[in-house]
Structure 1
């Protein structure tokens, strides 16, 4: 097992190093003076609070520091050690994102190699390493690189029939993206189909071991068993009457439409505020159900870059360079079309099916609520993997990488019928 691990490390270490170099170059050349704002700043503040011994606490959306569940905990917990060692310096947090994004490149290559062979793996890794929409997430303090790494990791572990570790990563994923409940069902169903009920229950139990303590903490310190208290904020910002009147996202914290005592006083209790905003959103949907379809259409235009102007505000908020965005926008359409074709060619592969189901759930959620380009990361990742599969399928034989003999270790996934090319060890 150790020799196999060393071989795989040597195989992918240059890819990791190249991906990290690209991300550092983007950091230095494109956004060297980036300062966290909005979501990115909240994650930084949460990490600093943990490092300073203040617990998982935040001032937003109130006026004083308080125990919070407004954001999921895993990413701030990873930021906290950088604050313990380097104080409030921002560069260690940005470097963490570089490393996580580089890990995503390697894991995407491993998954593509298992599906379509070494050529597909390296082509997919190159696509993920260089794709501007993904690159833009990997030098700022946002959760996307971590979420993608966990998503790929749990798919790879499930593919290798390592159900308990897959369940553990699923729990960590929920501590990064609490709305990813479908991941639990996909892993459990996969385990049930491949092995049986015991494996499925083991995966779910492992997930709960990781996830439930956070729910208990929230009940004790915040007053709710919910994983986060931000759902009402998001729903009201899209579907409450002030948002419908404006026809766009309206922030309940800063909008004067919420200056009445009922809403402002509710802000001092996250649970009450979350419930109040959820009711506002549901009332808006009930009064104007057609607004849901209007929201989906608007989000579709922004999500798929049809109306790029819809993305300007969120992209500026997320630290993206608008001039670069406009120059590389055509690349999005090419990668999306070719990537979807590549995935479609391998549609019978169990790994492609699992990834597609998970990505589709995130796409639907974004179309129904908010659809900034950074939340498109799972879709962009899947398209890059599909692009790698397509390249491998049509590349002339003389340019293909020779396949390696499978390593006879428990780390290797069970061999399936290939969907495109021949499966190769990761």
Structure 2
């Protein structure tokens, strides 16, 4: 086989992953539009098939009720422990409730109307994934990543369950897209927008605050070579964050008595650090214990006095007391933590106790959508090996871009280690998994094609050399 043929073969392999000269802009737009429509149809199909008419409980019920109160002019309020008068709340960050309130103002007020509307809203994540993948490496990667986002049950089901993740899966890939834009052609406006979108992510899911460090810091470093320039860009990012954060923090300080993002931390810690989640024999080992969450709250309210001689517990003081109780439990069981951490990581990536985690997910949603969740588990197992291949390929090509894409994966790993492992917590990482798996799949296809072309050339030319190994005689 001639040297020219070898170079041509390797060039075609690189082009399949890079997408150079393969998909024109107009073709990409048409294909991406078709994939977005597929994503909308898949989401509506899921709603009609599994969640239409299903009652709400837990977080979805809170989102629905708080949205109605916002739309009615009552503000962001709730009943403390489900009883008494309406009081200001920060039990969950406000973005998703305000999205639903916007739908209420458009006269889309029923639960099922919200589910269908979220099918369209969440499909914007499919569009952003296409643009993100194209900017990261190539149009081909963008289209394949968008295709995964269109049909993967973990992407599809969030709107049907009325979960904040339906919006989060639009915000996270958009955040990654803007991060790439910042390092490709940085300017101050881009960094302000970057700060704003990180802020929106945090006020959708409070653990997204990690992105300020895990994503914001590397982007600032990669975007400029001089520290003075980096300082200016960092200030722009912080300004964008401030636009979103400051009003919410001031509101919580005035209404609740603390500069806090959310008062849900105590409940989360109480459900994460319990005898059940620390016992290897328990089905929720390394996971989340709802019984401990609600039991701890009930015991504290019934048998402990509020701090500072207050007459009543509040959302904030109860959260602080529950956090203290959970931390005390953790400190008394430090020797168990290594095993618990391993179980949490295994659960969050779907490789430990998948059956127990599936049962937990089905019970938590209460819709009976076991089949789609099983398909989601299988799809996760299929994507992870290709994700690893894609990560190796991207890291060799651009370490900067790999660090950007890896930030959500690292964020999920940190969150799981600190709290608990579950399918729900993996959501922030699935845009990165999808795009890396797309790169990995195209790389494998390219390798198979290259090998097939080489074998065909051997039959024609009788040359036994491997095109991927340089010959010492050439």
Q: What TM-score results when the alignment is normalised by the length of structure 1?
A: 0.84
How many Å separate the matches in 2 of 1:211 and 1:147? 17
CA distance in 2, matches of 1:381, 1:75: 19
The whole-number CA distance in structure 2 between the counterparts of 1:166 and 1:31 is 35
Q: Which moved more, 1:198-207 or 1:237-246?
A: 237-246
2:313 to 248, 251, 268: 268
Bigger fraction of residues in helix: 2
**Which residue is equivalent to 2:193?**
165
Distance 2:167 2:392 in 1: 27
- Equivalent position to 1:394, from 439, 444, 449: 444
Partner secondary structure for residue 163 of structure 2: coil
Task: Look up the match of 1:315.
Answer: 362
Counterpart pick for 2:411 among 343, 361, 368: 361
Determine helix, strand or coil for the equivalent of 1:66: strand
- Per-residue deviation at 1:179? 2.0
1:57-136 to 2 correspondences below 5 Å: 57-64=77-84, 65-86=86-107, 88-136=109-157
Q: How many Å separate the matches in 2 of 1:143 and 1:160?
A: 26
1:374 alignment partner, one of 421, 424, 445: 424
Deviations 1:378-403 (A, max 9, x none): 2233221112112332335999xxxx
Superposition map of 1:29-68 within 5 A? 29-64=49-84, 65-68=86-89
- 1:191-340 matches, within 5 Å, as 191-195=220-224, 196-239=230-273, 249=289, 250-254=291-295, 257-258=299-300, 260-262=302-304, 268-303=313-348, 304-311=350-357, 312-318=359-365, 319=367, 321-326=369-374, 329-340=377-388
Q: Of the candidates 351, 375, 393, which is equivalent to residue 401 of structure 2?
A: 351
What do residues 158-182 of structure 1 show as CA deviations (whole Å, max 9, x unaligned)? 2222211111111111111222222
SS at match of 1:30: helix
Q: Deviations over 1:325-378 (max 9, x none)?
A: 335533321111212221221123433311212321122212431323122112
Residue pair 2:192, 2:236 contacting (<8 A) in 1 also: yes
Q: Is 1:341 the counterpart of 2:389 in the alignment?
A: yes
Choose 240-249 or 209-218, whichever is displaced more.
240-249
After superposition, the Cα gap between the structure-2 partners of 1:275 and 1:89, relative to the gap in structure 1 and judged at 3 Å, is same
What is the CA RMSD across the aligned residues, in angstroms? 3.0
- Contact 1:340 1:386 survives alignment (8 Å): yes
In the alignment, structure 1 segments of 5+ residues that lack a partner are 400-426
SS at match of 2:81: coil
C-alpha deviation, 1:147, in angstroms: 1.6
Aligned residues: 397
CA distance 1:128–1:334, shift in 2 (3 Å): same
Runs (4 or more) in structure 1 with deviation over 4 Å come to 5-11, 240-248, 254-259, 263-267, 396-399
- Higher relative contact order, structure no. (Cα contacts within 8 Å, ≥ 6 residues apart): 1
Rounded to whole Å, the distance in 1 between the matches of 2:57 and 2:246 is 30
Alpha carbons of structure 1 residues 327 and 124: separation in structure 2 relative to 1, 3 Å: closer
SS where residue 253 of structure 1 aligns?
helix
| Higher Cα Rg, which structure | 2
Matched residue, 1:424: none
Partner of 2:216: 187
Cα deviations by residue, 1:390-422 (Å, 9 ceiling, x for unpaired): 2332335999xxxxxxxxxxxxxxxxxxxxxxx
Q: CA deviation at 1:270?
A: 1.2
Q: Gaps (5+ residues) in structure 2?
A: 1-24, 183-189, 225-229, 450-474
Contact (CA 8 Å) 1:178, 1:228: kept in 2 or not? yes
Cα distance between partner residues in 1 of 2:277 and 2:301: 14
